[in-house]
């Protein structure tokens, strides 16, 4: 790199470090009355121009009504809908999923209260310590990404152990999070059954592979932004794990790339967004699609979302690859097997805007 380049990089590093050291996140900047967003958040003009080539459209990701799921005839229809959505979109929304509206609303309110509480209290949770089960920070990939993103997150990780002591959670969202985690994991079990059946496998196939075992929650807060057109809440990416269940407040911003068009995933009251992750694309031998999505920010209201990532037993050297039952002479394996712990370490060694994907694992 030339001298001027490294000076620019040094300056950027200093800015990132100064921002991180304040421990106030993006919301802290907004609260301090900032009207022009700092350089570290501004995306390069080339990236912004590229986006203009992708049109925005009014079509919607499929919405699947899960009521009557235990009735044989209805279940078959639901499995068919899940199959089509997982193949063509990699995204769908579910309604009548069994999680009470009060549990969803309280989770969103809890995350709002956590983020909007006194800064000095919130700062106590600020850390990048990988060993901590519960941590608050901004941009988990702050030092690795090319551009910082307009978002703060509370991360709750159940990857290393299933047990969560409620006292580790911030009081502002403690009860709400305990209730939500219990219910969302149950819904995860149901979805893994449907996804197994839609692959023509026994209902417990994906669960018996421990797909539902490791989960973590990323509770995002995207503050209103004075210059929403030059930055992003989350850059275009696909989720690295197996399956994601996403709760969003009634503020839109999430978009999925479908046939080279950005499609808004509009919030439905009581609905949850479900999307296929890279590992599920891999183990389904590309029957299912892990799709690219991103989050735009707006200048009016904060967006709040809670992503529950099911990633499998990622702390173990467990081998994952295309499911044997899906492989035949006509359907040869498209991916090589991977060790989950190595895979996830590789993911965390990069920024989210550094397209990771499955390319390295293709045969």
List of residues contacting ligand OGA (CB under 6 A): 218, 220, 234, 239, 246, 248, 254, 293, 295, 305, 307
Contact 91, 275 (CB under 8 A): yes
Question: Please, what is the minimum distance in Å from the beta carbon of residue 287 to ligand OGA?
Answer: 22
Question: Please, what is the minimum distance in Å from the beta carbon of residue 13 to ligand OGA?
Answer: 25
Question: Please, what is the minimum distance in Å from the beta carbon of residue 246 to ligand OGA?
Answer: 6
* R_g over Cα of the chain: 20
Contact 90, 288 (CB under 8 A): yes
- Looking at the Cβ atoms of 122 and 151, the one nearer to Ni ion is 151
Question: Please, what is the minimum distance in Å from the beta carbon of residue 254 to ligand OGA?
Answer: 4
Residue 154 three-state SS = strand
The entry of ligand OGA, Ni ion, none that residue 248 binds, CB within 5 to 8 Å by partner kind: ligand OGA
- Looking at the Cβ atoms of 78 and 211, the one nearer to ligand OGA is 211
The entry of Ni ion, ligand OGA, none that residue 218 binds, CB within 5 to 8 Å by partner kind: ligand OGA
- Looking at the Cβ atoms of 29 and 232, the one nearer to ligand OGA is 232
SS3 content of the chain, % helix, strand, coil (to 5): 35, 20, 45
Choose the stretch contacting Ni ion; rule: CB under 5 A; options: 37-45, 188-196, 233-241, 298-306.
233-241
Question: Please, what is the minimum distance in Å from the beta carbon of residue 74 to ligand OGA?
Answer: 29
**Long-range pairs for 125-134 at CB < 8 Å and ≥24 separation?**
125/154, 125/170, 126/23, 126/25, 128/20, 132/157, 133/157, 133/158, 133/160, 133/164, 133/168, 134/168, 134/169, 134/170
- Looking at the Cβ atoms of 29 and 352, the one nearer to Ni ion is 352
Question: Please, what is the minimum distance in Å from the beta carbon of residue 353 to Ni ion?
Answer: 12
- Looking at the Cβ atoms of 139 and 286, the one nearer to ligand OGA is 139
Contact 248, 304 (CB under 8 A): yes
- Looking at the Cβ atoms of 249 and 286, the one nearer to ligand OGA is 249
Question: Please, what is the minimum distance in Å from the beta carbon of residue 151 to ligand OGA?
Answer: 8
Choose the stretch contacting Ni ion; rule: CB under 5 A; options: 89-97, 133-141, 160-168, 236-244.
236-244
Contact 231, 149 (CB under 8 A): yes
- Looking at the Cβ atoms of 24 and 236, the one nearer to Ni ion is 236
Q: In whole angstroms, give the CA distance from residue 184 to residue 156.
A: 13
The sheet with strand 91-95 has its strands ordered as 63-65, 91-95, 272-276, 243-248, 303-310, 215-222, 152-158, 134-138
> From the CB of residue 203, how many other CB atoms can be counted at a distance below 10 Å?
17
Q: Is 239 in the site for Ni ion (CB under 5 A)?
A: yes
- Nearest Cα neighbor of 194 from 114, 322, 98 is 98
Contact 66, 190 (CB under 8 A): yes
- Looking at the Cβ atoms of 323 and 358, the one nearer to ligand OGA is 358
Q: Is 278 in the site for Ni ion (CB under 5 A)?
A: no
The entry of Ni ion, ligand OGA, none that residue 184 binds, CB within 5 to 8 Å by partner kind: none
The entry of ligand OGA, Ni ion, none that residue 254 binds, CB within 5 to 8 Å by partner kind: ligand OGA
Question: Please, what is the minimum distance in Å from the beta carbon of residue 239 to ligand OGA?
Answer: 5
């Amino acid at each position: 790199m030339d001298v001027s380049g490294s000076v620019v990089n040094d300056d950027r590093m200093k800015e990132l470090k100064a921002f991180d050291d304040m421990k106030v996140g993006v919301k802290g900047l907004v609260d301090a009355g900032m009207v022009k967003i700092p350089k570290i958040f501004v995306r390069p003009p080339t990236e912004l121009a590229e986006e203009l080539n992708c049109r925005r459209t009014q079509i919607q990701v499929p919405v699947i009504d899960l009521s009557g799921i235990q009735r044989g005839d209805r279940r078959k229809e639901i499995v068919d809908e899940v199959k089509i959505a997982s193949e063509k979109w990699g995204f769908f929304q579910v309604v009548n999923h069994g999680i009470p509206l009060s549990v969803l609303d309280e989770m969103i309110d809890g995350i709002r209260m956590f983020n909007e509480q006194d800064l000095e209290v919130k700062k106590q949770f600020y850390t990048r310590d990988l060993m901590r089960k519960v941590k608050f920070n901004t941009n988990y990939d702050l030092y690795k990404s090319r551009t910082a993103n307009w978002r703060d997150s509370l991360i709750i990780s159940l990857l290393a152990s299933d047990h969560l002591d409620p006292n580790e959670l911030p009081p502002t969202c403690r009860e709400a999070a305990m209730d939500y985690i219990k219910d969302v994991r149950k819904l995860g079990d149901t979805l893994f059954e449907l996804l197994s059946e839609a692959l023509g496998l026994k209902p417990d196939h994906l669960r018996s592979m421990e797909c539902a075992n490791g989960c973590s929650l990323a509770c995002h807060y995207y503050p209103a932004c004075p210059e929403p057109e030059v930055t992003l809440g989350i850059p275009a990416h696909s989720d690295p794990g197996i399956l994601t269940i996403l709760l969003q407040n009634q503020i839109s911003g999430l978009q999925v790339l479908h046939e080279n068009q950005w499609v808004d995933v509009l919030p439905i009251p009581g609905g949850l967004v479900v999307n296929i992750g890279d590992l599920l694309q891999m183990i389904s031998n590309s029957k299912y699609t892990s799709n690219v999505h991103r989050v735009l920010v707006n200048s009016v209201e904060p967006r709040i979302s809670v992503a529950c990532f099911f990633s499998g037993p990622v702390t173990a050297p467990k081998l994952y690859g295309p499911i044997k039952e899906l492989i035949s002479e006509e359907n040869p394996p498209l991916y090589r097997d991977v060790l989950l712990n190595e895979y996830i370490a590789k993911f965390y060694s990069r920024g989210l805007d550094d397209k990771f994907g499955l390319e390295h694992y293709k045969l």
